[in-house]
Amino acid sequence: MSRSPDLWVPFAFICLVLTAAVSLCCGRYGLAPDDVVAVLLHPLGLGGEPRDPAATAIMLELRIPRMVAAILIGAALAASGVTYQAAFRNPLVSPGLLGVLAGAGFGAAVAIVLGFSATFRMTLSFVVGGAAVGVGILIATTFGSTNLGRGDQGILLLVFGGLVSTALFTALLAMVKFIADPDGALPDIVFWLLGSLAEIRSATLVLMGPLLVIAIGLLLGNARFLDILVLSDDEALSLGVAAPKIRLFVIVIATISCALTVALAGTIGWVGLVIPHVARLLVGPAHSRLMPMAICLGGIFLLVCDLLARSVTVSEIPIGILTDLIGVIAFIAVLPRVRRWM
């Protein structure tokens, strides 16, 4: 860990801005930096008319929406991962623990089979993802309504409910895939589950972007309370903090963030598990620094993965494949350091 952890957060933010600029310039169709600057400044009345009409179309219709989506999704997944690891007092949990990934995947698969529009698919994916978490919480309350979210038993009840919900919606998803048309809907379901930013457009961001910004802002604003959640509930109560209520609140917000990312881009794994550990190595365990650091690193990571996904081969690679491959390698690299928080 650096001796000056406070310097890492602004440095990471600068790297995020630079990575976003590179992502706008690079791709299968390379754009000159001056063309990119002209396209960005022209709507503000600054600079001249962009020289390349193709550059304007590519920037406004494809690259800017994808760049913004990559930053928001990476930041949301990383922030959710930090929150889950603190709330469950376990550095090996990820945002999909309570069944949101399986539920959102099932909702999207149903929408694809029924031939609904992309907007309705995203909406149904988000709604069913949230419903899956609700099922997990309902199962947990069935076995211990007075202990939910309180102490080790309450945390275990939430994990148990999440496992059951995940199994249920995974089975429902498998059923939808079984009955889907193998020449039509099934390939679309499989491709969507692999994760991709290819369908991100400005209209999509207008619908989902503000919700993601609010969710990320709430997690960032409650970061200081996450330090207390690492303590036992009795210790937190002695500090005048009702840890169970805060735990449930941040879990709900983190789950909503995760559901929104799945609705936007499909299943993108490992970001919420690996990025918090990398951030922890740089700035330490204090969540006031850890949360903004993870948000910046999550955005950088997904920007790089998206750039590779659309640049390495002629046909775009699903971004979920790259996050899985790179995430596994990164997790193996940081795994020896993870033991200090276990």
Domain boundaries, the chain: 96-267, 270-342
Q: Are 199 and 125 in contact (CB under 8 A)?
A: no
Q: Cα–Cα distance between 141 and 290 in angstroms, integer?
A: 31
Q: Cα–Cα distance between 4 and 270 in angstroms, integer?
A: 27
Share above pLDDT 90 across residues of the chain, in percent, rounded to a whole number: 46
- Could you tell me the CATH superfamily of domain 96-267? ABC transporter involved in vitamin B12 uptake, BtuC (1.10.3470.10)
Mean pLDDT of 185-211: 89
Mean pLDDT of 268-294: 92
Q: Are 280 and 273 in contact (CB under 8 A)?
A: no
Mean pLDDT of 27-47: 75
1 has a pLDDT exceeding 50: no
The DSSP code for 62 is I
78 has a pLDDT exceeding 90: yes
Q: Cα–Cα distance between 55 and 218 in angstroms, integer?
A: 36
Q: Are 78 and 297 in contact (CB under 8 A)?
A: yes
pTM of the model: 0.91
The mean pLDDT value of the chain amounts to: 86
Mean pLDDT of 267-292: 92
Q: What residue has token string 């790179």?
A: 326
Q: Are 219 and 253 in contact (CB under 8 A)?
A: yes
Q: Cα–Cα distance between 277 and 183 in angstroms, integer?
A: 41
Measured CA to CA in angstroms, residue 37 lies from 42, 160, 318 at distances of 8, 51, 29
Q: Give the 3-state secondary structure of 222-279.
A: CHHHHHHHCCCHHHHHHCCCCHHHHHHHHHHHHHHHHHHHHHHHCCCCCHHHHHHHHH
CA 53 to chain centroid: 33
Mean pLDDT of 110-129: 90
Q: Cα–Cα distance between 55 and 32 in angstroms, integer?
A: 9
Measured CA to CA in angstroms, residue 80 lies from 33, 136, 274, 336 at distances of 34, 18, 12, 23
Confidence class for position 227, pLDDT limits 50, 70, 90? confident
